[in-house]
């Protein structure tokens, strides 16, 4: 088929990657890349490292042009049967194929936490997801050079933000639900090492949840469950992970389930695909899972675009999508590094103690790697991902 029309919803990691691949490999296809109204395609990883840190203005985090036609008009909904998009402006568009790459949204604190909404409105409680969030944290802390920041969360983003804010001279207290924050995301071995890096730098309240929040004119105060301890700060940042964000009819918290080639399971014959933080995958022998890392989203966007070209009769079958991309974060002068999706694993093996490299297995299949200061080792081991290792102990 020539002159097919393809719509891509979301101009982030996955969407721009898909657009670039289609533009390069099949220039005869008409591709429209939809960004939110008024939003430029941006590199979200620079919200913390660039904008929050004051090194970049949001405009400087703009992604390069993909060659596809960029439409700044939020997609309000789509009809999966007819592949018709409804746009914020009131316009509609029809497509031969669609890639949904609308990413994720930040998980908020539970709404039954007393004082949550007042704190959010005051600006003393914020998420850290959008460029606006990064600028809000930067601006609020700019007027108080040695602020007390309460960081709620224990994942990679929370660790990196705690480290960056400490480097900037702020006093960061960590508040996490788990006793070993991040263990679910990166495995217990790497998470314990990250905690060892945090301990000399931060007060840490672990194994606790916020029970109530009070916003004062000059500070925010969070009461923790269990002990009833009150922790005060100038600003509180919630980094409790993400939920998938899709246009209607998939606006709920469940994301878009995809098959092994990233075709939407909701509309298997409609040429609708999903990639990146919005896509929910199924690993053989495991339950469903979702990855929200930059390089992996880029890989998914390219994979969905290749499947689309195959379904249009323009390319070979790209095969099964398996997560193998690396990810990393700087934490107090060290590099937390990994590849694949550690939570797929049911057992771990320490490959190297120093630098730490942990292999995560599902049965005897290597599904992920995590480590500290082990970038080279991770790179060497990536080719073994998703292969069975019959000789492992």
Ligand X SMILES: Cc1cc2nc3c(=O)[nH]c(=O)nc-3n(C[C@H](O)[C@H](O)[C@H](O)COP(=O)(O)OP(=O)(O)OC[C@H]3O[C@@H](n4cnc5c(N)ncnc54)[C@H](O)[C@@H]3O)c2cc1C
Strand order in the sheet with 84-87: 75-79, 84-87, 92-94
Number of neighbouring beta carbons within 10 Å of residue 351: 16
Rule CB under 6 A: choose which of 327, 341, 361, 381 binds ligand X: 327
Residue 235 binding ligand X, by CB under 6 A: no
- DSSP secondary structure, 133-174, as one string: HHHHHHHHHHTSTT-EEEEE--SHHHHHHHHHHHHTT-EEEE
Rule CB under 6 A: choose which of 103, 182, 210, 255 binds ligand X: 103
Residue 102 binding ligand X, by CB under 6 A: yes
In the complex, the smallest distance separating the C-beta of residue 15 from ligand X, rounded to whole angstroms, is 6
Residue 93 binding ligand X, by CB under 6 A: no
Residue 247 binding ligand X, by CB under 6 A: yes
C-beta of 297 vs 358, nearer to ligand X:
297
Cα–Cα distance, 15 to 104 (Å, whole number): 13
Residue 68 binding ligand X, by CB under 6 A: no
Residues 129-168: x where in contact with ligand X by CB under 6 A, - otherwise, as a string: x---------------------------x-----------
Instruction: Tell me if residue 321 falls in helix, strand or coil.
Output: coil
C-beta of 208 vs 238, nearer to ligand X:
238
Residue 293 binding ligand X, by CB under 6 A: yes
Residue 13 binding ligand X, by CB under 6 A: yes
Residue 194 binding ligand X, by CB under 6 A: no
Rule CB under 6 A: choose which of 5, 25, 30, 39 binds ligand X: 39
Token pair 């990810």 is found at 327
C-beta of 207 vs 241, nearer to ligand X:
241
Residue 342 binding ligand X, by CB under 6 A: no
Specify whether the backbone of 222 is left (phi greater than 0), alpha (psi in -120 to 50) or beta.
beta
Cα–Cα distance, 103 to 14 (Å, whole number): 8
Rule CB under 6 A: choose which of 6, 56, 75, 186 binds ligand X: 75
Which residues have CB under 8 Å from 82's CB, separation 6+?
Answer: 94
Q: How far is CA 6 from CA 129, 232, 354, 378, in A?
A: 28, 51, 48, 36
Cα–Cα distance, 336 to 77 (Å, whole number): 38
In the complex, the smallest distance separating the C-beta of residue 382 from ligand X, rounded to whole angstroms, is 15
Interaction site with ligand X (CB under 6 A) = 9-15, 34-36, 39, 44-45, 47-48, 74-75, 101-103, 128-129, 157, 245, 247, 276-278, 292-295, 297, 327, 329
């Amino acid at each position: 088929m020539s002159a097919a029309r393809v719509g891509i919803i979301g101009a982030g990691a996955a969407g721009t990657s898909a657009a670039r691949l289609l533009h390069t490999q099949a220039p005869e296809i008409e591709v429209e890349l939809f960004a939110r109204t008024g939003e430029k395609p941006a590199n979200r990883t620079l919200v913390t490292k660039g904008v929050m840190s004051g090194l970049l203005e949001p405009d400087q985090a703009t992604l390069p042009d993909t060659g596809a036609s960029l439409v700044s008009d939020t997609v309000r909904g789509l009809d999966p049967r007819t592949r018709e998009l409804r746009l914020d402006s009131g316009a509609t568009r029809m497509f031969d194929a669609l890639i949904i790459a609308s990413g994720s949204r930040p998980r908020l604190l539970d709404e039954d936490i007393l004082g949550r909404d007042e704190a959010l409105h005051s600006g003393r409680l914020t998420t850290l997801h959008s460029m606006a969030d990064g600028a809000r944290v930067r601006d609020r802390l700019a007027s108080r050079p040695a602020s007390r920041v309460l960081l709620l969360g224990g994942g990679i983003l929370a660790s990196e933000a705690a480290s960056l804010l400490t480097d900037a001279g702020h006093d960061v207290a960590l508040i996490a639900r788990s006793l070993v924050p991040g263990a679910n995301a990166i495995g217990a071995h790497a998470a314990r090492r990250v905690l060892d890096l945090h301990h000399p730098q931060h007060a840490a309240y672990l194994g606790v949840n916020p029970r109530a929040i009070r916003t004062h004119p000059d500070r925010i105060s969070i009461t923790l469950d269990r002990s009833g301890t009150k922790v005060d700060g100038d600003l509180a940042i919630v980094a409790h992970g993400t939920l998938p964000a899709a246009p209607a009819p998939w606006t709920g918290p469940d994301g878009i389930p995809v098959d092994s080639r990233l075709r939407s399971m909701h509309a298997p014959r409609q040429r609708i695909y999903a990639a990146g933080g919005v896509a929910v995958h199924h690993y053989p022998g495991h339950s469903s899972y979702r990855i929200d890392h930059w390089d992996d989203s880029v890989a998914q966007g390219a994979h969905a675009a290749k499947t689309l070209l195959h379904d249009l009769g323009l390319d070979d079958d790209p095969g099964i999508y398996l997560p193998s991309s690396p990810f990393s974060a700087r934490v107090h002068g060290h590099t937390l590094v990994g590849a694949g999706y550690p939570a797929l694993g049911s057992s771990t093996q320490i490959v190297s103690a120093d630098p730490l490299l942990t292999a995560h297995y599902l049965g005897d299949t290597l599904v992920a790697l995590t480590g500290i200061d082990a970038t080279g080792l991770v790179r060497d081991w990536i080719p073994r991902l998703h292969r069975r290792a019959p000789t492992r102990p």
